[in-house]
Structure 1
Amino acid sequence: MQTLALTQQQEEILSAYRFRHATKEFDSSRVVPERDFRFILETGRLSPSSFGFEPWKFVVVQNPEIREKLRAHAWGAQKQLSTASHFVLILARLPQDMMADSAYIQHMMQDVHELPEEVIAGRGKVYDQFLKVDFALAHNERAMFEWGCRQTYLALGNMMTAAAQIGVDSCPIEGFDKARIEQVLTEEGIMDPEHFGISVMAAFGYRLNEPRPKSRQSSEEIIQWV
């Protein structure tokens, strides 16, 4: 297959992807400037979600004591929690909030999307059909929660890519005890367990060590044209 020359902008974007790696330990002496981190958070806020219902919340944990409590139950974040400039918990909404007739979904359509009542009624029916028939999620609470979590990964990916484009390192983290982390967040008054559960963690900062060369499968192995 012929290789096409890339534009300068395309090369810059791919350079950011090559730069990004799962940073295991950060330089704790360096702090991401507030303007840069707010930019990273904004790319998460502006990320797409199914039906535009944004089933997420971003919790930035800077308190050292709370980080230490989290570290006791996050085996995959031992070095990141103690060295990252910024540490983010991405929460996902629970099934009851994501049902078509829930107060949250009605709030999204009425107050955020500002849809007319007749459009809300029609959109609600389509969404209800999607949950109950098309994706068959409504009768499986775990599937419903995981569907919300999948959407949070769209925001996570955008945040990590945006960070890489401005020279900030990151690390997505799933290595934790979900129940115990949620218990800590509930006891600290950070998370309302009636509406949210934890989806994923992410650390941001500046690398302490250079990573090994990036390894990926070839395009021929993972891309199929039909």
Structure 2
Amino acid sequence: METTVSTKDAILSALEYRHATKVFDDTKKISEADFNFILEVGRLSPSSFGYEPWKFVVIQNPEMREKLLTFTWGGQKQLPTSSHFVVILSRLPQDLHANSDYIQDLMRNVQKLPTDVIEGRERRYEKFLKYDFTLEGNDRALFEWGCRQSYIALGNMTTAAAQIGIDSCPIEGFSKEKIEEILAAEGIMDSEHFGISCMVAFGYRLNEPREKTRRTSDQVTQWV
């Protein structure tokens, strides 16, 4: 019981500690072991149907960061000062259809499912796309659905980072089209299969944040 209570306290303490860090201390660097831990948390995160539609691109090259800076208005302070900067990619719709090469390979060679199980999952997934969430035929909606999966990994990574004293800042303030053009031109992103979901910076805070504010439990929770 004591272990359970201490674990709960540690998680809540990390969430209280975490904030969207605007400026990092550029003299402090995350250790390789700690950052590999953060990436592993992202890799092990859950996704709908277990299809893992994400890819984590760690941008450490200063010249590449400078190129991204021009079109990342929401990361003007984070890009130059963060210890590690990650662009999270999400699969494009062509890879998210039930019969796509990506989904088929994942079920067969990663999840190692028997043929009959694969056939059953295909039927359920097709029903989900066509009728349950009506994503079939709407490429923008299907891409955004994939991005929503990547945000699960993002949330887990930032929370895990906070638990070991590392700060972070998720970033959506950028020109998606321009950043994708840069990453594709540099051979970093395969634009036939991926688009940008979001960005996230990691490092150590330079300044202490103001007190965290949130709505009350009664305002955000409804019991039925």
TM-score scaled by structure 2?
A: 0.97
> Which aligned pairs between 1:56-67 and structure 2 lie closer than 5 A?
56-67=54-65
Q: Which runs of 5+ in 2 are unaligned?
A: none
Q: Show CA shifts across 1:101-139 (max 9, x none).
A: 100000010000101111111111111111111110011
C-alpha separation between the residues in 2 aligned to 1:223 and 1:134?
Answer: 25
> Which aligned pairs between 1:148-163 and structure 2 lie closer than 5 A?
148-163=146-161
Q: Show CA shifts across 1:59-89 (max 9, x none).
A: 0000000000000000000010000000000
Question: Which has the higher mean CA deviation after the structures are superposed, 127-136 or 169-178?
Answer: 127-136
Partner of 1:198, secondary structure, is strand
Q: 1:183 aligns with which of 178, 181, 184?
A: 181
- Kindly report the root-mean-square deviation, in angstroms, between the aligned alpha carbons of the 2 structures: 0.8
Q: Percent identity?
A: 65
Query: Structure 2 counterpart of 1:78, which letter?
Result: Q
Structure 1 ranges of 4+ moved more than 6 A: none
Alignment length (residue pairs)? 221
- Mapped pair 1:84 → 2:82: yes
Question: Which has the higher mean CA deviation after the structures are superposed, 88-97 or 123-132?
Answer: 123-132
C-alpha separation between the residues in 2 aligned to 1:161 and 1:178?
Answer: 25
Query: Structure 1 counterpart of 2:144, which letter?
Result: E
> Which aligned pairs between 1:102-121 and structure 2 lie closer than 5 A?
102-121=100-119
What residue in structure 2 maps to residue 169 of structure 1? Answer: 167
Q: Show CA shifts across 1:114-173 (max 9, x none).
A: 011111111111111111111100110000000000010000000000000000000000
**C-alpha displacement at 1:8, in angstroms?**
2.0
Query: Structure 2 counterpart of 1:29, which letter?
Result: T
Partner of 2:74, secondary structure, is helix
C-alpha separation between the residues in 2 aligned to 1:15 and 1:67?
Answer: 32
C-alpha separation between the residues in 1 aligned to 2:8 and 2:98?
Answer: 40
- Mapped pair 1:40 → 2:38: yes
TM-score scaled by structure 1?
A: 0.97
Q: Which runs of 5+ in 1 are unaligned?
A: 1-5
